[in-house]
Amino acid sequence: MATGEQQPQLGTTRVSSSSTSPRGRAATGSGAEKYERDARRYWDIFYKRHEDKFFKDRHYLDKEWGKYFEGHDGEKMVVLEVGCGAGNTIFPLLSTYPDIFVHACDFSPRAVDLVKKHKDFRSDRINAFVCDITSEQLTENMEPSSANIVTMIFVLSAVAPDKMPLVVQNVKNVLKHGGRVLFRDYANGDLAQERLMSKGQQISENFYVRGDGTRAYYFSNEYLVDLFSKCGFTLEEICVHNKQVENRSLDLVMNRNWIQATFTLNSADRQGPNDLHVCEGKEDKLVADSSKKKSSSEEIDLSEDFCNMFGTSHNLDEVQIMGIKAKGHDFKIKVLTKEYQHTCKLTGLMLWESAQLMCGLLAENPSIVAGKRVLELGGGSAGICSMVAASFAKFVVATDGDAESLDLLRQNISSNLEPNLLDRIMIRKLFWGNNDDVRAVRELSDNGAGFDCIIGTDVTYNPDAILPLFKTARELISDKANEDSRAAFILSYIQRRVDENSILSNAMAQGFRLVDKWINGVHESNGIISSWFSGNDVCSAYQNTTLSILYFEL
């Protein structure tokens, strides 16, 4: 289950990471158990989708650790590759060192099949087998204490932290005394960790679920050294590498971190206190050395596929029908259910509480949109706010930046609205900050007059999107006002990674002022928003949810 480095799809000009704690849809409890229980299935799906085309071949092992693969006095080196994936490590290794013998195991049966179907596979040089290294003994497929080297390249990070000691002990059982573990994996503080954190995809400390259901742990030096030391290994070298990776097509500079280490199996079963002290001292020295700049030509595991680290598309055949009722409305909409919230890159394919709240408020308070030019930003596939608004507004433009969400949105609107209301609603692609998209949507507002009411529900969860969101809203909101009516930008959301101060500072920078705010059970509004709840029970369904509404004007 090789889990090589991957890159994000979206970002700002320079993207770095931080250690701020996440807020949001954390994959805890039954969700975390599901990802543990179905781990093999997620990796099998991964290799079914990507086969051997996802990870680059790892030619850097010769450069980084070449001296360890050379046998002495006629010795034939035996290597175990844990988490072999499709063979991106073992085949370059065999090409460089044709005299070695390789045992290759993976959690995914499909990955092992890919290895066996590789054009360079030879059964007299490779023993490829399926093994769950957290529960199945490697000694069932190879001799105990027989391997000179074990390579663990972006594999241990895919294992739940509480099972990592079992993996290291399992590896120890097949490694010769004096043999080495060559380790490379994700390091704490990597950009990918920040992105997963911002989407609320944390399972436990430093452990996250990706968009495709596979998992990733981000290591610190201390944690890694302690893990191997307790199983009788001595640290030989360790270094955290940092590299700025530039993607010119997206105008991104991304800070990537990975950790590389070599461990030696002691001749004794356990380390003594003095040995452990020496390991810690050597680690500290090498950590200091690791601050030196690395060569810009240094090879790093980076996939060219930007989409798959943070999500994967789901077939629209997986959607389910959900009933949504609001005053005077009874919708049957197609959406992905919440079970996919951590395994889908497109949050717009699901329906979130903030949209349901706003839908109910619009139905109870038609005056919010009555006779106005209405725009919904990031409306996703459900369209319930736009559909309610269409009953009262002059016209509505429902937008989203994702083509798949827009396809499902068209289906939901066409199947739920009467023909006379369909004439009042338009669906358009709008990627925030894209000048062509913004101009095209602006032209829909009565020859560029701008919109009187802009609505956004649950569109503030991504820190990188806040500034483009408000810039886009500023370009599209009407700046014509009179004493009776001012154009409004209304946000409804559950607070996640982005706090209110960040939202307000970006709003002010684009010329918006906060007129009113409401936080469920925490802060009553100054009058505008509180009046929307008068005489109805819209809020009763969300008593245990900290929903917020912010009301802006220019």
Instruction: Tell me if 188 is assigned to some domain.
Output: yes
Q: pLDDT > 90: what percent of the chain?
A: 54
Residue 3 lies in a domain: no
Residue range 184-202: mean pLDDT, rounded: 84
Residues 64 and 98 grouped into a single domain: yes
The answer to whether residues 351 and 306 belong to one domain is no
DSSP assignment string, 107-149: S-HHHHHHHHHSTT--TTTEEEEE--TTTS-GGGTS-TT-EEE
- Same domain for 240 and 380, yes or no, is no
Please state the rounded mean pLDDT for residues 518-527: 79
- Judgement on whether residues 358 and 386 belong to the same structural domain of the protein: yes
Q: Judge if 194 and 61 occupy the same domain.
A: yes
Confidence of residue 132 (pLDDT cuts 50, 70, 90): very high
> For 483-518, how does the pLDDT look when each residue is reduced to its tens digit (9 = 90+)?
568 999 999 998 776 788 999 999 999 999 999 999
Give phi and psi for 351, each to the nearest 5. -115, 125
Statement to judge: residues 499 and 418 lie in one domain = yes
Task: Assess whether 193 and 249 both reside in one domain.
Answer: yes
pLDDT (mean) for 333-348 = 63
Report the domain count for the chain. 2
Give the range of the structural domain holding residue 528, as residue numbers without chain letter.
319-553
Structure tokens at 12: 């700002």
Q: Please tell me the predicted confidence (pLDDT) of residue 252.
A: 53
Rounded alpha-carbon distances, angstroms, from residue 7 to 45, 215, 249, 441, 540: 20, 15, 13, 31, 42
Percent of the chain with pLDDT over 70: 78
Contacts from 333-339 at CB under 8 Å and sequence distance 24+?
Answer: 333/381, 333/382, 333/383, 333/384, 333/412, 333/416, 334/381, 334/408, 334/411, 334/412, 335/381, 335/382, 335/408, 339/34
Whether 16 is in a domain gets the answer no
Residue 509 lies in a domain: yes
Q: Which pLDDT band holds residue 195 (cuts at 50, 70, 90)?
A: confident
- Residue after which a domain boundary falls, among 251, 280, 310: 310
Q: How much is the pLDDT for 293?
A: 36
Q: Which is higher by pLDDT, 318 or 311?
A: 318
What pLDDT is attached to residue 273?
37
In a domain, 12, yes or no: no
The average confidence (pLDDT) of the chain is: 81
The enclosing domain of 112 has a CATH number of: 3.40.50.150
Same domain, 263 and 358: no
One domain, residues 168 and 141: yes
- Model confidence at 553: pLDDT above 50: yes
How sure is the predictor about 346, in pLDDT bands with cuts at 50, 70 and 90?
low
Which of 256, 282, 310 is the C-terminal boundary of a domain?
310
Confidence (pLDDT) at 254: 67
Higher pLDDT, 296 or 533: 533
Q: Which of 129-133, 235-239, 282-286, 433-437 shows the lowest per-residue confidence on average (mean pLDDT)?
A: 282-286
Residue 431 forms part of a structural domain: yes
Residue 140 lies in a domain: yes
Greater model confidence, 55 or 92: 92
Residue 306 sits in the same domain as residue 327: no
Across the range 156-161, mean pLDDT stands at: 94
**Cα–Cα distance between 195 and 553 in angstroms, integer?**
31
pLDDT band, very low/low/confident/very high, at 21 (cuts 50, 70, 90): very low
Q: Are residues 118 and 46 in the same domain?
A: yes
Q: Tell whether 24 is covered by a domain.
A: no
Residue 277 has what pLDDT?
A: 31
pLDDT at residue 317 tops 60: no
Residues 166 and 192 in one domain: yes
